[in-house]
Chain A
Amino acid sequence: MRRHRKYADVPRDDQRVQADVDDEIRFDIDMRVRDLVAQGMGADAAREQAVREFGDVDETRRYCASLDASTERAARRTAWLDDLREDILLAWRGMRRAPAFALVVLVTLAMGIGANTAIFSVVRRVLIDRLPYRDANQLLRVYAGTGPRGGSDYLTARELVDLADAPSLAGVAAFGSLGGATYYGDESTDMFSIASVTPNFFPVLGARAQVGRAIGEQDLAPDARPVVLLSDAIWQRVFGGDPRVVGRSIQLGPVSRSVIGVMPPDFESPTFTAEVWIPLDLRPFVADPVRSRTMRVLRGIARMKPDVSLDRVRSDGATISARWRDARPGSPDPVAPRVVPLRDAMVGDVGRALVAVMGAAIVVLVITCINIAGLFLARATARRRELAVRAALGAGRGRLVRQLLAESALYGIGGGALGVGLAFAAKRVLEVISAGSMPKFGEMHIDVALLVTTAIVSILCGVAFGLFPALVATRVDLKESLSESSRSSSAGASRTRGRQVLVTTQIALAMVLMIGAGLLLRSFAALVTTDLGYTADNHVLTFRVEAPPSLPRDQAARNAFFVDLLTRIRALPGVRSAAFTDISPWNGPNSVRPRIVAGSADDVDAPSAMYITATEDYFAATGTKILRGRSIRADDRPNAVPVALISDSLARRLFPAGNAIGSQILFEGGGGSSLDKWREVIGVVADVREMSSRSFMPAVYVSDWQEDPWRRPEFVVRTTGDAASIVPALRRMLREVSPRSPLLVPRTLREVMHLFIAPQELAMTLFTVFATIALALAALGVYAVMAYIVTARTREFGIRTALGAGRASVMLLVLRQGMVAAGIGCAAGLILSLAGARAIEGLIANVPAHDWITFVAAPIVLLGATLAACMIPAKVAVNVQPVEALRAE
């Protein structure tokens, strides 16, 4: 070997270096003494002279030792690099020698690492990265109500004003999402999602406009013109990023508004979507003594004062809550303000889903590593002769382990590189799956930090799956391995046990993922099939139409326009029934919840209910069953008797005697609004669920014709075929009737429903994918180990057969060995799952966390798969011919 390494081969510590220097000096002096003695000098005198002649012994000792120590360190570094180069070269050759093996390892690893990279990139953006607001950790979302999901997104004006008094809050801003607004451009019309915000909204968030200014107090001055603030997206898409747009007037819906500014690209409205913002004036709400307490139409965000804890805010909230209770004495469901950190509010269920999915991805990666460890172990065993030869040539065990580790680390890096590629590909898939459920800032983004993380994970994986096989494989018995018949000597009980431990662990982990996927699947199935009280399928289309700006703003003109439209829609081919509504159970958390009074207006126990407006045919179109009485008719017009239908549970609550039809009800606290009138109950309909919370809500349906004019009703159209297919015909018809009225957000009720269950769907889909991969890997692992064991025991099986063992007994022997490992794995997995199910409890609804069907079905599937995996090696074992087995060696 290389001569210059001879000296550096054995690393020396500082003590050893000093000893060598001393040895060298002693040798010099001794030689001099010998020569002097040979010249006839006495021994003592000779030594004395030799030492004197030498010069400064101590200085030389110190100087040489310190020089050598540093030489030693440098040599060690060089040697290490040399070895590394050699290791990598060997690993590369090994990969090229076994391309199929390399491919399997790299692809498996790429899948595991790719999944983790893709999901981690999203997790980081959503859960870890800073929100795009100044001091975002001080920001809160404010709700009214108690319980995790109870209460309302919406507050009254009074509640908002009271909250602003809380000493722990620096500011409270309100916003209202207004849905879509039609933009009438010079050549085309467009639809912007629009929100109204109080003047302190942007200051509370700490956001500024990039061009012009944001909405401010001056926009609420008595002589102020209507204004609008644009998002960067609209500015670019519609106005070509022209800064001169500021100051121009644009027609938005019925109002001409002057553009005051453009927000920066990274600005996003917290917890709602808006492409343009207009000012929201709270004063009219606050001024009205009744509406200020009953109109639940405002949503709130707040900023805590610096150095104030969330608990302080919550205790302030309790104080305010007491005040609210006093304002509504005896109220059965006292409303309390509830504050939630803004990030939690923005992330919501998606956050929980992401954490669970990240956990699943990590488990898949662990299974992947274990699986590859199994493959490496099998190969290392096959390479025992090679390793033994290297050991015989003087390579220490540490050196061999390092060589094997370098190989697996190289695989890790290769797999990681492929994995990043896969993550890029998965980005698309993730975007499709998570569409609608992810906050905008949750978009996947691959950057240097992420790549570094992935690289570290890849190398760690390589070490993780390489270390155990390397340690096992290098425990070589030279003599045994070099002797030709090494294979026939028993495969080594400890080695087999090692493999079985690996397989059992894989099965246990796969079990956990399958249980998770099973629970999510069951819960999702329950979500989809929940009886909402209306048919949320693809036969029902909903959309909004904006009345043209030229239409006079009075009820008669508006009604005439929409009645005409309804008639034309009904005439379209494929349409069975058409109606419209303006507040529906699927439109987000229902905002208007008046309390319903029957008989005495002082009833303190009056229940609150969803307020839903409807036209004739509404129930036919939605599929909500009318249990008693009649539906709304076209002649339930403003001058006719005000009518209402109530849901079954409300009827039972208000009229336990069953005399609902013909009775009168009143919405409490209408305060002079159009709500404030006695209505005759004309029918009782089946209960419906609010789509967002999936909870039953008592509901009151009133004739849309008899309510305040609403300029943009939501149509509900039931069709015979796929509802989406009538959209083109609808657009054509609308262009003829009113060219300036665009068709807004057409979607089937099924699509609407999927928006609400998107986080659950995301978790369910990804969990199922991961569980399937885990199942496949576990089955593969079982197969590999059993195949190895059968091959190792070929001779034994041959002898058994020769001695008269039946096929069945040989097969049983093999199957038993495999299934014992599988059984232990399943049991361990079940125990882990019982504990782990709690982690996804927040994501599963309608199914208990310890749902027995899942806990029975998953082990059956897993055991079935492992049994199948064991069958192939078992068949091989059965077919061993005694003569062949004995001749084989």
Chain B
Amino acid sequence: MARESLDLVHGTVDVLILRTLAWGPMHGYGIKTFVRDRTSGAITIESAALYQALHRLEKKKLVRAWWGQSDTNRRAKYYELTAAGKRHSQSRLDTMREYVGALMRVLEAK
């Protein structure tokens, strides 16, 4: 992913994470797998960006985390949405819809 459009990248990654967690608590690798599977591999979140985003969201109290047991019986850090996170993800979703719509209008303009 291009370094220069960091804002867009950050914003997009954040929305992806928040929308994914709306399905339920997951660990980082789970989120990554979920996004990749959902988009049939079209979108892959880079791990470095994912974890930085997760910790940032945790600090903002949009997600909370705890250590749990993964299905492979390993200690794994799980994340879930907080109430604030749910509200935030909804508003970000609206913004993103608008943004993508606008983008598409430009791109599809004949």
| Interface set of A (CB-CB < 8 Å, partner B) | 3-4, 6-7, 20-21, 23-25, 27-32, 34, 53-57, 59-60, 63-64, 67-68, 70-71
Q: Are B48 and A20 in contact (CB under 8 A)?
A: no
Sample (26) of A-B pairs whose CB atoms are under 8 Å apart: A7-B64, A7-B66, A20-B77, A24-B77, A27-B27, A27-B74, A27-B75, A28-B28, A28-B29, A29-B47, A32-B47, A53-B47, A54-B47, A55-B47, A59-B48, A60-B48, A60-B51, A60-B52, A63-B52, A64-B51, A64-B52, A67-B58, A68-B55, A68-B58, A71-B55, A71-B59
- Give 20 A-B pairs besides A24-B76, A55-B46, A60-B47 with Cβ atoms closer than 8 angstroms: A3-B64, A3-B66, A7-B64, A20-B67, A23-B77, A24-B27, A27-B75, A27-B76, A27-B77, A28-B51, A29-B47, A31-B29, A32-B47, A34-B72, A54-B47, A67-B56, A67-B59, A68-B55, A68-B58, A68-B59
Q: Report the minimal beta-carbon distance from A73 to chain B, rounded to whole angstroms.
A: 11
Q: Chain A's nearest CB lies how many Å from the CB of B40?
A: 16
* Cβ–Cβ contact B48 & A54, under 8 A: yes
**A67 with B64, Cβ < 8 A, contacts A23-B75, A24-B77, A32-B29 known:** no
Determine whether the beta carbon of A67 is less than 8 Å from that of B55.
yes
B82 at the interface (CB under 8 A from A): yes
B70 contacts A by Cβ under 8 Å: yes
The majority secondary structure among interface residues of chain A is helix
Measured between beta carbons, the chain A residues less than 8 angstroms from B96 are none
What is the minimal beta-carbon distance from B94 to any residue of chain A, in angstroms?
A: 26
Residue of A with least CB distance to B77:
A24
Chain B positions 82 through 104: 1 when the CB is less than 8 Å from some CB of chain A, otherwise 0 = 10000000000000000000000
A28→B48 CA distance, assembly (Å):
10
Task: Tell me whether A63 and B55 are in contact (CB under 8 A).
Answer: yes
Q: Are A25 and B75 in contact (CB under 8 A)?
A: no
Return the chain A residue nearest B70 by Cβ: A27
Complexed CA–CA distance, A60 and B53 (Å)? 10
A27 to chain B, nearest CB (A): 5
| Distance between Cα atoms of A53 and B29 in the complex (Å) | 13
Across the A-B interface, give the 9 residue pairs with the lowest CB-CB distance, nearest first.
A55-B48, A54-B47, A64-B55, A31-B29, A67-B55, A60-B48, A55-B46, A71-B59, A24-B77
Distance in Å: Cβ of A189 to nearest Cβ of chain B = 81
Residue in chain A with minimal CB distance to B29? A31
Chain B residue with minimal CB distance to A62? B52
Contact B47 A28 (CB under 8 A): yes
Residues of A contacting B43 in the complex (Cβ-Cβ under 8 angstroms): none
A35 closest partner in B (C-beta): B33
Q: How far is A606 from B82 in the complex, measured between Cα atoms in Å?
A: 102
Assembled-state Cα–Cα distance A60/B28 (Å): 13
> Which residues on A sit within 8 Å (CB–CB) of B51?
24-25, 28, 60, 64
CB-based nearest A residue for B56: A67
Contact A4 B82 (CB under 8 A): yes
Q: Establish whether residues B52 and A24, one from each chain, have CB atoms under 8 Å apart when the complex forms.
A: no
User: A496 → chain B, closest Cβ, in Å?
Assistant: 46
Contacts of B72 in A (CB 8 A): 31, 34
* Cross-interface CB contact of A7 among B32, B55, B56, B65, cutoff 8 Å: B65
B83 → chain A closest CB, angstroms: 10
Within 8 A of A (CB), among B9-67: 27-29, 32, 46-49, 51-52, 55-56, 58-59, 64-67
Measured CA separation A54–B48 after assembly (Å): 6
User: How distant is B5 from chain A, measured CB to nearest CB, in Å?
Assistant: 16
State the B residues within 8 Å of A (CB).
Answer: 27-29, 32, 46-49, 51-52, 55-56, 58-59, 64-67, 70, 72, 74-77, 82
User: Closest residue of chain B to A31, judged by CB?
Assistant: B29
Q: Is there contact, CB below 8 Å, between B56 and A53?
A: no
The complex places the Cα of A616 from the Cα of B67 at a distance, in Å, of 106
> Complex: how many Å from CA A29 to CA B74?
13
B75 contact set on A, CB distance < 8 A: 23, 27
Please report the C-alpha to C-alpha distance between residue A28 and residue B27 in the assembled complex, in whole angstroms. Answer: 9
Give the complex CA separation of A59 and B64 in angstroms: 22
Q: Which residue of A lies closest to B30 (CB)?
A: A31
Chain B residues lying within 8 Å of A59, measured Cβ to Cβ, are 48
Contacts of B46 in A (CB 8 A): 53-55
Q: Is B66 a contact partner of A6 (Cβ separation < 8 A)? A: yes
Instruction: State the CA gap A807–B82 with chains docked (Å).
Output: 71
Min Cβ gap B24→A in Å is 14
Name the residue on B nearest A67 (C-beta): B55
- Which of B51, B66, B76, B77 has the most A CB atoms < 10 Å from its CB? B51
Chain B residues with Cβ under 8 A from A4's Cβ?
Answer: 64, 82
Closest to B75 in A: A23
Measured between beta carbons, the chain A residues less than 8 angstroms from B70 are 27
| Contact between chains at A56 and B48 (CB < 8 Å) | yes
Least Cβ distance of B79 to chain A in Å?
10
Most buried by A among B29, B48, B56, B74: B48
CB-defined contacts of A23 to chain B, threshold 8 Å: 75, 77
> Which B residue's beta carbon lies closest to that of A55?
B48
A residues in contact with B47, CB < 8 Å: 25, 28-29, 32, 53-55, 60
Name, among B55, B65, B70, B75, the residue most crowded by chain A CB atoms within 10 Å (CB to CB).
Answer: B55
In the assembled complex, which residues on chain A have CB atoms less than 8 Å from the CB atom of B55? Answer: 21, 63-64, 67-68, 71
Q: Taking CB as reference atom, which chain B residue is nearest A23?
A: B75
In this complex, the member of A28, A32, A57, A70 whose beta carbon has the largest number of chain B beta carbons within 10 angstroms is A28
Complex CA distance for A71 and B59, rounded to whole angstroms: 5
**Bound Cα distance A67, B47 (Å):** 17
How many Å lie between the Cα of A6 and that of B66 in the bound state? 7
Identity of the chain A residue whose Cβ is nearest the Cβ of B45 in the assembled complex: A55
Closest A residue by C-beta to B50: A28
What residue in chain B is nearest A7 (Cβ atoms)? B66
Contact B29 A27 (CB under 8 A): yes
Contacts of A30 in B (CB 8 A): 74
Report the separation of the CA atoms of residues A32 and B36 in the bound assembly, to the nearest whole angstrom: 13
List of B residues within 8 angstroms of A27 by Cβ? 27-29, 70, 74-77
Complexed CA–CA distance, A57 and B46 (Å): 11
Cα–Cα distance between A249 and B89 once the two chains are bound (Å): 89
Q: How far is the CB of B44 from chain A (nearest CB, A)?
A: 8
In the complex, chain A residues whose CB is within 8 Å of the CB of B29: 27-28, 31-32
Q: Could you tell me the distance in whole angstroms from the C-beta of A813 to the nearest C-beta in chain B?
A: 59
Closest to B46 in A: A55
What's the Cα separation between A56 and B46 when bound, in Å? 10
Tell me how far the C-beta of A479 lies from the nearest C-beta in chain B, rounded to whole angstroms. Answer: 32
What separation, in Å, do the CA atoms of A31 and B52 have in the docked complex? 18
Contacts of A28 in B (CB 8 A): 28-29, 32, 47, 51
A686 nearest CB across to chain B (Å): 92
Chain A residues whose C-beta falls within 8 Å of the C-beta of B48 in the assembled complex: 54-57, 59-60
Q: How far is the CA of A692 from the CA of B24 in the complex (A)?
A: 91
Shortest beta-carbon distance from A249 to chain B in Å? 82
How many Å from the CB of B53 to the closest CB on chain A? 10
User: CA of A605 to CA of B59 in the docked complex: distance in angstroms?
Assistant: 95
Q: Considering only CB atoms, which chain B residue lies closest to A60 in the complex?
A: B48
State the CA gap A59–B77 with chains docked (Å).
19
Residues from chain B with Cβ under 8 Å of A63 in the complex: 52, 55
B49 adjacent to A55 (CB under 8 Å): yes
Expressed in whole angstroms, the Cα–Cα distance for A71 and B55 within the complex equals 9
User: Which residue in chain B gives the minimum CB-CB distance to A27?
Assistant: B76
Chain A residues with CB under 8 A of B65: 7
- How distant is the Cα of A29 from the Cα of B47 in the complex, in angstroms? 9
Q: Point out the residues of chain B lying under 8 angstroms from A70, CB to CB.
A: 59
- In the bound complex, residues from chain A placing their C-beta under 8 Å from that of B32 are 28
Instruction: Tell me, rounded to whole Å, the shortest Cβ–Cβ distance linking B86 to chain A.
Output: 14
